Amino acid sequence: MQEQTTTAAPRELSRDELLDIYRQMWEIRFFEDKVYDLLGQNIIKGASHLYAGQEAVASGAIAALRDDDLITSTHRGHGHCLARGDCLAPDPVAKQEHLNKMMAELCGRSTGYCRGRGGSMHIADVEKGNLGATGIVGGNIPVATGAGLSMQMQGLDRIVLCFFGDGATNTGNFHESLNMASAWRLPVVYVVENNLYGMSVPFQKISAMPDIAARAAAYDIPGVVVDGMDPVAVFEAVSAAVERARRGEGPTLIECKTYRWYGHSRSDPRKYRTKEEEQGWRDRDPVRVFARRLLEMDIATQEELDAVEECAVHAIEAATAFALESPMPDPAEVEEDVYVVSPPTPAEVEAERRLRERVRTDPSIPKKRYWEAVRDAMREEMLRDPRVFVMGEDVGLYGGAYGATRGLFDEFGRERVMDTPISEALIGGAAVGAAMTGMRPVAEIMYVDFTPLAMDQIANQGAKNRYMFGGKTAVPMVIRTEGGAGRSIAAHHSQSLEALWTHFPGIYVVMPATPYDAKGLLKAAIRNDNPVMFIEHKMLYGVEGPVPEEDYVVPLGVADVKREGSDVTIVSYSRMVLRALEAAEELAKQGISAEVVDLRSLKPLDLETVVASVRKTGRIVGVTEAYKTGSYLSELFTLVNEAAFDWLDAPMVRVTALDVPVPMSETLEDAAIPSVERIVKAAAGLCR
C-alpha cells in the first residue's frame, strides 16, 4: 500500500474544535436513535440507513474542510449532512435550524432541506456545498470527480470530499473515477467507510484484499488506512489529503475502518453478525472513547461533557418536534421544479420562424454540412461562455467519432476539449458534478447504444437531482451522442434509443434533422439549464444545408412544418424527416398532399403543432427508426388521441423499425428500418 506523504504535519485541533466534534458525534448518535424510533412508529416512511457507530468518520473528516469545500454523500449520509451543515452554521440558532431541516426532510415535510422530496437517501444542501446523497451505491463517486474537475477548471483551490461505503468499491464507478482523477490530478479526497458489510455480505468474502486502500496503488495515488472510530485520526488523515489536493498533487483514497450499530436498514435482522462481534465494536464506541480521551487530555471536565450530551438530546428533541409540527407538502406542488422552466417567448418563437423561412427561400445563405453545423455551435458557445467545455472519448485531435469536434482542440486546447477514458458512466457522472458546480459541460458519448452504460449517472443523478433536492440546484449539461442505422455496423452501434431517454423526468431530448436545426438546437441546448440528451444521426453528418452566419438559436420545444399539406400528416424527427419529405414527393405524384412535421425536440414536445396539423388533415402517419415496441411514437400517438380524437378520420399508423436487433448486412439493415416506400404505402393507404 502506498503511504501518504505531506510536507507539514496536520494542524492541531483547538479545544473548541474538539468539543464541537464531540457535540456533533452525540447529535448524530441521538439523531439516528430517534430516526430508528420514528421508523418503528411508521412516522418516518420508506427506508433509512442509519449512521450510528460511524460518527467519528463524518465529524473528523468534515472538520478538515474549509467552508467553501464540497462534499458528496451516500444513502447512509445523515452523519455527513449533519456535520457539514453544523460546521457552516454561524451560531447556535442556525445549528438548530439545520437539525430541524434535516429531521423535517426525513419526515417528508415541506420545511425539510429538499421540501420532502428527497428524504433520507437523497438529502442535500447544494447551496452550501453538500452536493447530495444518493440511493445508488457508488452513484456519487463520478459526480464528486466531476465537481473536482470543475474546481480545477475554474482555477479554484476548493476540494471535494467524497464519502462512500465499502460496497461501492466493487462498482465500475469507483474504478473509473479514481483512474481519471489520478490521471488529471483532480482535487478529490475519496473516503471509504468500511463498516465490514455490504448489506449482509462480509467484505472479506468478496475481496481478496483486506484493505480497500491498497487498491490506490493501481492508480498511483496514496492509499491510507485509518481507525474510523477515532475522529482525530480521521481528521489528521483527511487534513493531509486535503492539503495535498490543494497543492495540485491530486486525489487520495482514505479507508476508515468502522462499524454500523444498526443493520443495513431498520428491517435488517443482522443474523450475519454475531453478538460477540457487535459487542466488541460497541466496546470501542467512538463517542464514549472520545469522551474518555477528552477527560484524560484535560480538554473538558465530566460536567462539561455531560452538559454537551444533554444539549445534544435537547437539540434532537427540538428538531423532532419541529418536524412533526411542520406541514406536509402541498399536493399541488408535486410537478414543480422537475425542470428549470424557461420557455421561449412568443417573440423568440416568431423570430426563429421568420429566420427559418428566410433560410428556405434565400439562396445566398451559405451551406454547411451537418457535422460542421454541430462543430460551429460548440465553438460559438465556447467563445461566448467560458464555462462551456467539451469532454468525451476521442473528442480531441481526432474530432470525435464522426468529426464533429474537429478543430476545437487546436483552438481551445486540452483545458477545454478533454479526451476522457473509455468510461461512459464516468463521463455522464462527471458532467453532472461539473454542471452542479458552475460549469456547462458538453459531454460526448460516442454512440447512443452506449448511453445505457451511463444511465444511472445521467438519469438517476443528472435528471433527478433538481427535483429530489427541492428545486435548489440546476444541472446544465448536454450529452451529445449519435444513433441510427445505415453503416452496416450492426446491433451494438446502430440503434435508436431515444424512447429510453424520453421516459425520465428531468431531461430533455433533442433530435435535429438538418444542419440549420442542428446548430440552432445545440446552441439552445448548451444555454439551457437542464440536462439535454442531444442525439445526432450518423447518416446526416455529410448532409448539406443552408446555415445562417449570424448568431441564432432554435428554441427547444418548437416543431417545424417542413412541408405544408392537406390530406395526411407525416410526423417524424432526425433522419426519417428526410425520408418523409421524399415520401411526400412520391405521394404528390399520386395526388395526395402530405404535410411533414419535424418534431425537432421530443422533450419538450410541441404537441400543439402536431395537433393543428391533424385537425387540418384528419390523418397521421408517424415515422421512426426506433423499434416498434415501446417507440416514442406510441407515446406521441397517445397524446394525439387524447387531444385530437374527434378530428381523426382514420386510424393512426406507425412506420417503424422492425423488432429485431439492427442487422449488419446491408440488405437486412435496409429491410429492418423504414423506407420511403413503406412511408408512401402507409400514407396512401390512409387516404384511400
- pLDDT reading at 604 higher than 60: yes
Task: Give mean pLDDT, residues 67-78.
Answer: 95
Instruction: Say what angle helices 424-436 and 172-184 make with each other, to 10 degrees.
Output: 70
Confidence band of 5 (pLDDT split at 50, 70, 90): very low
- pLDDT reading at 7 higher than 70: no
Question: What pLDDT, in 10s, does the model give residues 480-492?
Answer: 999 999 888 889 8
Pick from 168, 119, 116: nearest CA to 142: 168
Question: What pLDDT, in 10s, does the model give residues 185-199?
Answer: 999 999 999 998 887
Report the alpha-carbon distance of residue 520 to residue 327 in Å, rounded.
45
Share of the chain above pLDDT 70, in %: 99
At residue 396, the pLDDT reads 86
Report the alpha-carbon distance of residue 288 to residue 119 in Å, rounded.
29
Question: What pLDDT, in 10s, does the model give residues 90-123?
Answer: 999 999 999 999 999 999 999 999 999 999 899 9
Greater pLDDT, 688 or 348: 348
Greater pLDDT, 271 or 296: 296
- pLDDT reading at 653 higher than 60: yes
3-state secondary structure 284-316: CCHHHHHHHHHHHCCCCCHHHHHHHHHHHHHHH
Task: Give mean pLDDT, residues 670-684.
Answer: 95
Share of the chain above pLDDT 90, in %: 87
Report the alpha-carbon distance of residue 309 to residue 10 in Å, rounded.
28
Would you give the distance in Å from CA 525 to the centre of its chain?
A: 16
- pLDDT reading at 165 higher than 80: yes
Greater pLDDT, 278 or 463: 463
Greater pLDDT, 120 or 607: 607
Task: Give mean pLDDT, residues 211-217.
Answer: 95
At residue 2, the pLDDT reads 41
- pLDDT reading at 436 higher than 60: yes
Task: State the Rg of the chain over Cα.
Answer: 28
- pLDDT reading at 551 higher than 60: yes
At residue 208, the pLDDT reads 86
Q: SS3 of 44, please?
A: coil
Q: Tell me the pLDDT of the chain averaged across its residues.
A: 94
- pLDDT reading at 655 higher than 90: yes
Lowest mean pLDDT among 142-156, 191-205, 231-245, 549-563: 191-205
- Cis before 604 (ω within 30): yes
At residue 1, the pLDDT reads 39
At residue 185, the pLDDT reads 97
250 near 216, Cβ under 8 Å? no
Distance set, CA 258 to CA 51, 83, 160, 180, 261 (Å): 11, 17, 22, 27, 10
- pLDDT reading at 3 higher than 70: no
Q: What is 156-200 written as a DSSP string?
A: ----EEEEEEGGGGGSHHHHHHHHHHHHHT--EEEEEEE-SEETT
At residue 9, the pLDDT reads 67
572 near 600, Cβ under 8 Å? no
At residue 198, the pLDDT reads 84
Single pTM value for the model: 0.94
Active site amino acids: 493
Confidence band of 15 (pLDDT split at 50, 70, 90): very high
